[in-house]
Amino acid sequence: MRHAHTVEQVRAAEAELMARLPEGTLMQRAAAGLAATCARLLPRVYGSRVVVLAGSGDNGGDALYAGARLARRGAAVSALLLAPERVHTGGLAALRAAGGRVTTDQGEFSRADLVLDGIVGIGGRGGLRPEAQPYAAAERRGVVVAVDVPSGVDPDSGAVPGAALRADVTVCFGTYKPGLLVDPGASYAGIVQLVDIGLALPGAGVTALQHDDLAGMLPVPTVESDKYRRGVVGVAAGSARYPGAALLAVAGALRGGAGAVRYVGTAAEEVVRRFPEVLVTEGGPAGAGRVQAWVVGPGGGDGAARALEEALASPVPVLVDADGLTELARLGPAALAGRTAPTLLTPHTGEAARLLAGATAQAPPAADELAAARLASARRLAAEYRATVLLKGSTTVVAEPTGEVRVNPTGTSWLATAGSGDVLAGLAGSLLAAGLGTLDAASAAAYLHGLGGREAAAGGGPVTALDVAARLGSAWRVVRG
Ligand SMILES: NC(=O)C1=CN([C@@H]2O[C@H](COP(=O)(O)OP(=O)(O)OC[C@H]3O[C@@H](n4cnc5c(N)ncnc54)[C@H](OP(=O)(O)O)[C@@H]3O)[C@@H](O)[C@H]2O)[C@@H](O)CC1
Ligand SMILES: [K+]
């Protein structure tokens, strides 16, 4: 699991540790880890050209001290100072003492084998300032290593409010920052490496699953398992207008670990023809047999209102997607007030905007605003509806009403394809039926779905939702080792 902490949490832990250590110890730990990563990235340190972009704070100090360490190993290190009158004096002195120099030739940025971005770190606000903006657009031949955070990325939210420096590698200190894991910030961070500097941190509000976490979470049948013990997932999806959504949701549900899939709705004939193993019932959820979790809404059309009402009245977990969400936005959070079992909402940003409007009786916010602040948007929605919310997008995030968030590290932009969300809904519902809680089911489903998407897109071409569903089995095998 990757744990990410806010700037406020990092500052508090830093102050507590600094009070017990000789001055400068933390910065030296940070610089040592940074220099070690840079040395690994260079074919050889001796003779390579390194440029340090140094801003006015300790982030610049880290970069200058790391530059000094590389200079001592024979690199030709020069520093471009963004605020010369406020540069970190200790860092600059160390660099000079090691044979590094200050330059004003911005062209050195483009010629460097490696650039250290120490313009601004967790003290940064807003995008790059005018003096740093040319570097965001400049050509580069070497690798760019961001110090703690790519400059211009908001560490807490991942928002990129103006120009930012795109990194190939980000070396962060003490903990991950949420902005390194959530787009758009994550897309500026490249590969993120963590250097332990000894901070004692509280529980993380934002986490990201890794392969090992999935291996421990996914349901595994035992010798005593029968289909009912493994869970039956009910899928109320598809309509005369969108029969395909039923097939895609069922395709996802069949690969989520539940023992059986029960389909209710008007696409029953097509579903059985395609998937003979599925139990089918005409009508709505209320008249169907026993299930351990419901998925309602994909392609539901006019039938979505009734399916939603019946599913929400049941005492089992319910996942609401697509047309079910449109209906829920109309009803508002009151529709979930009487639920005794958990509810999982899986909106894209457009649906999230409608849901928020339904909760606040205000005009819906712009979907791109929600996407730019996706952590805050998902948290707000989860709090308003008192439900778990999986907000789809370039980084899918799952938020609990408590504010706890999991961000999904897998995925590919090829997943933004018609029907992909139907597969995800079926998969997550199946994991719910198999007994996972809403947070685990949603984040595990997003993870597997992302891996399936990556695998389907491995050749570099477009993928279809069915391609993704077909790869889910192998995604399970990958994470279970
Ligand atoms: N926490 C830890 O445990 C450890 C932290 N360490 C390191 O310290 C870093 C934090 O250092 P920090 O506090 O000095 O802040 P930092 O990010 O260098 O900014 C400095 C100043 O920049 C300015 N500024 C603001 N926005 C800007 C912008 N967009 N573009 C340009 N400038 C901008 C603003 O000043 P202003 O100009 O507004 O007066 C601000 O005060 C941290 O990221 C890590 O690298 C490690 O050494 C070890 C342990
Ligand atoms: K930086």
Sequence-separated (6 or more) residues with CB below 8 Å from residue 79: 51, 52, 53, 54, 64, 67, 92, 95, 100, 101, 102, 103
- DSSP, collapsed to helix, strand or coil, labels residue 427 as helix
Ligand 1 in contact with 133 (CB < 6 A)?
no
Tokens for 51, please give them.
């440029």
Query: Residue 160: how many CA atoms within 13 Å on its side-chain side?
Result: 20
Q: Annotated binding residues for K(+), as ranges?
A: 59, 117, 151
372-376 average pLDDT score = 90
Q: Is the pLDDT of residue 281 over 80?
A: yes
Q: In what helix (H) or strand (E) does residue 214 lie, and over which residues does it extend?
A: helix 211-217
**What percentage of the chain carries pLDDT values higher than 90?**
87
In this prediction, residues 466-479 reach a mean pLDDT of 94
Class of 211-479 per CATH? alpha beta
Residue with tokens 């690994």: 40
CA–CA separation, 250 vs 229, rounded Å?
A: 19
Distance CA 90, CA 441 (A): 50
| Residues 6+ positions from 270 with CB-CB distance below 8 Å | 238, 243, 246, 247
Atom of ligand 1 nearest to the CA of 17: 3
Evaluate: CB of 23 within 6 angstroms of ligand 1.
Answer: no
Residue 268 is predicted with a pLDDT of 92
Kindly tell me if the per-residue pLDDT of 414 is higher than 90. no
Q: Which residue out of 23, 26, 122 has the highest number of ligand 1 atoms within 8 Å of its CB and is therefore the one to mutate?
A: 122
pLDDT at 227 over 80: no
Evaluate if residue 219 carries a pLDDT over 90.
Answer: no
Ligand of minimum distance to the alpha carbon of 189: 2
Beta carbons of 231 and 256 less than 8 angstroms apart? no
The pLDDT confidence band at residue 439, using thresholds 50, 70 and 90, is very high
Give the mean pLDDT of the chain: 95
- pTM of the shown model: 0.95
Q: Is the pLDDT of residue 224 over 90?
A: no
Q: Which long-range contacts (CB under 8 A, 24 or more apart) does 178-181 make?
A: 178/4, 178/5, 178/6, 178/205, 178/206, 178/375, 178/405, 178/407, 179/149, 179/153, 179/154, 179/155, 180/4, 180/149, 180/153, 180/155, 181/2, 181/4, 181/206, 181/208, 181/395, 181/407, 181/409
pLDDT at position 384: 96
58 lines ligand 1 (CB under 6 A): yes
Going from the Cα of 153 to the center of ligand 2, the distance in angstroms, rounded, reads: 9
pLDDT at 60: 98
Q: What angle in degrees, to the nearest 10, is found between the helix axes of 243-253 and 465-479?
A: 10
Q: Atom 16, ligand 1: which residue's CA is nearest?
A: 123
77-87 tens-digit pLDDT: 999 999 999 99
Q: Name the residue of 10, 88, 148 to mutate for ligand 1: max ligand atoms within 8 A of Cβ.
A: 148
Lowest mean pLDDT among 220-234, 284-298, 332-346: 220-234
Q: Is the CB of 59 under 6 A from ligand 1?
A: yes
Residue 147 near ligand 1, beta carbon < 6 Å: yes
Measured in degrees and rounded to the nearest 5, phi and psi for residue 207 equal -135, 165
Q: Determine the pLDDT at residue 280.
A: 94
211-479 matches 2-205 in CATH topology: no
Q: Is 68 close to ligand 1, i.e. is its CB under 6 Å away?
A: no
Stated length of the chain: 481
Proportion of the chain above pLDDT 70, given as a percent: 100
Radius of gyration of the chain (CA): 25
Q: In degrees, to the nearest 5, what angle opens at C-alpha 244 toward C-alphas 241 and 246? A: 100
**Is 122 close to ligand 1, i.e. is its CB under 6 Å away?**
yes
CB 129 near ligand 1, within 6 Å? yes
Q: Which of the four pLDDT bands, split at 50, 70 and 90, describes residue 255? A: very high
What 3-state class would DSSP assign to 192?
strand
| Ligand 1 and 55: CB distance under 6 A | yes
Q: Residue 56 C-alpha to ligand 1 middle, in angstroms?
A: 7
Q: How far is the CA of 61 from the centre of ligand 1 (A)?
A: 9
CATH dotted code for 2-205? 3.40.50.10260
The structural domains of the chain, with segments of one domain joined by +, span 2-205, 211-479
Strands (E), 33-75: 49-54
- Beta strands 101-103 and 279-281 are unpaired
HSE, CB side, 13 Å, CA atoms: give it for residue 297: 29
Atom nearest to 199 CA in ligand 1 = 3
Q: How far is the CA of 57 from the centre of ligand 1 (A)?
A: 5
**How many helices (H) and strands (E) in the chain?**
19, 18
Report whether 159 contacts 194 (CB < 8 A).
Answer: no
Q: Which residues are annotated as a binding site?
A: 58-62, 117, 148, 151, 245, 299, 348, 392-396, 421-422
| Residue that is written with structure tokens 């948007």 in the block | 377
> Is any ligand 1 atom within 6 A of the Cβ of residue 408?
no
**Of all protein residues, whose CA lies closest to atom 20 belonging to ligand 1?**
57
Is residue 146 within 8 A of residue 176, CB to CB? The reply is: no
- Distance from the CA of 62 to the center of ligand 2, in angstroms? 10
Predicted local confidence at residue 462, as pLDDT: 85
Residue 342 Cα to ligand 1 middle (Å): 42
pLDDT of residue 239 exceeding 90? no
Annotated binding site for AMP: 392-396, 421
Q: What is the mean pLDDT of residues 286-309?
A: 93
Gap from CA of 454 to ligand 2 centroid (Å): 29
Question: Band of the pLDDT at 21, cuts 50, 70, 90?
Answer: very high
The answer on pLDDT for 223 being more than 80 is no
The number of CA neighbours under 13 Å toward the Cβ of 166 is 9
Distance of CA 329 to the CA centre of its chain: 25
Q: How far apart are CA 234 and CA 366, in angstroms?
A: 33
Q: Whose structure tokens read 């449109």?
A: 326
Q: Over 90: is that where the pLDDT of 240 sits?
A: no
Is the Cβ atom of 150 under 6 angstroms away from ligand 1? no
